[in-house]
Structure 1
Amino acid sequence: MLPIVLYNGRRHWTAPTDLADLIDTAPAGLDAYRPSLRYLLIDAGAYADADLAAQRNLAAALFRLENSRGPEPVREVLTALTDWLSDPEQAELRRSFVLWLRQAFLRTRLPTVQFPELGNMEEIRIMLTDRVLDRTQQWKQEGLQEGLHSERRMLRRLIRRRFGEGVEVQSTPLLERIVQPEVFEDLGEALFDCADDRAWLARLTAAVGGNG
């Protein structure tokens, strides 16, 4: 049995990869009974696009799509996939990719765009060339908003675990005013440095003031 965590969040994975690291040190004589389970972490966002592009690998192609910030890398990946999955025996895999692209990926990245029924990856690639080329800025902006939403949601979960639901409720309207991803990175580190909830709220308020 090989435990695997496949993670595709915007922020890099920072949690321990061994269950034992999440459990306090046991009293003397009980260490042998402390649970330990190490898992293999695959953090899709930690791979550089150039490294992924050099691999003729379907998983690498999927990671490139999920990490993309504009239509150009998406078209590049789709061109490669159209070639790689051209054999008749790959028909089921082609259908699965097309379904995911149409029902999940494109609707998430461009929720305001009305897409026609797209039957294959070549149609999707052509559609991106013809109809989305002039929407690059919208794509980037919506991708940024999606990333900010994920950052806020993750930080709220960490606040709740660290200081409780009440502090999370107090923090939420302040987090909504932050629009710079790097501020969330700083706050993620500061959260665990603050001794108590008052110190955290003061740190968050200062970050919001600087963000404005």
Structure 2
Amino acid sequence: MRQVSDRGYRKLFKNKTIFRQLMQTFVHEDWVQELDFNSCETLDKSFIADHYKETVSDLVYKIKLRGKEIFIIVLMEFKSEVERFMSVGLANYVGNFYMDYVASHKRIRKLPPVFPILLYSGSRKWNAPESLTDLIEGEEYLGDYGLRFKYFKIAANAFSKRRLLAIKNVVSTLFLVEGHYDLELLKKELADLYSRESDRAAVSLLLNWFLQLLKHGRIPPQASEALEHVFDSSKEVRQMLEVALQKERRGYFNEGKREGKREAERKSRREIALKMIAKGFELALIAEVTGLSEVALRRLKLEKPKK
């Protein structure tokens, strides 16, 4: 399940809309409102120490603040157990980042600011010290030479249902699913999000994540009703959902099916894929739903829909 969490969360928060919502909604610092989200991009690098590679994933964003580059690190912690010394791991991560930065920028005189975020999706309360100072006994004796480091914690299960319901964006809906599972509430919130959010790619990523939670038993099978409710007003997308759920429950093809029915199902999957492409869904979600490869879907995107 860790690999599913890793891939799913990385895909979610690599989306710029979802990253912007995370920052603007859950990081209450004045400077966040001055970030230029049009300039943000992710670095194709990881600085996780070997000790944490089995339980932690990471993203590094480069973004402009008042015209200058800063870096925002998002470490995603998936295991339920609370890592008491996570501030040590994050301090090491930032140190590794800076060492790499110095090596690749030979003429710099100063380093750029780095803002470290811990994003925790486990079930327990995250009560580990966020400041490295709080983990060092007698640190105050060292005065100015004591170590100073602190990370910013975002724990999905730390936010009340009322607060998340008031936010109404992709990230708050994600946190609702993980921290306050309620089928009827989930049906309403997913439907509202689908009709409200203009970034279809962001919605696609969330729905794909939701399908993965169903597939791997992280949420009850009855939660499929929430997805059915989301698309209740859209015939073609409802058809897409029914195919997806049938695939998850019984497998897409069984031995002994007639060739004619197999051909009909192939055509149905193709039609569903074309409709999802037209609506702007991500290829990863379309592939998950229809069983078609992303290569086949890219070919379909080049075809003109028949009138």
Higher share in strand = 2
- Larger relative contact order (C-alpha < 8 A, sep ≥ 6)? 1
Higher share in helix = 1
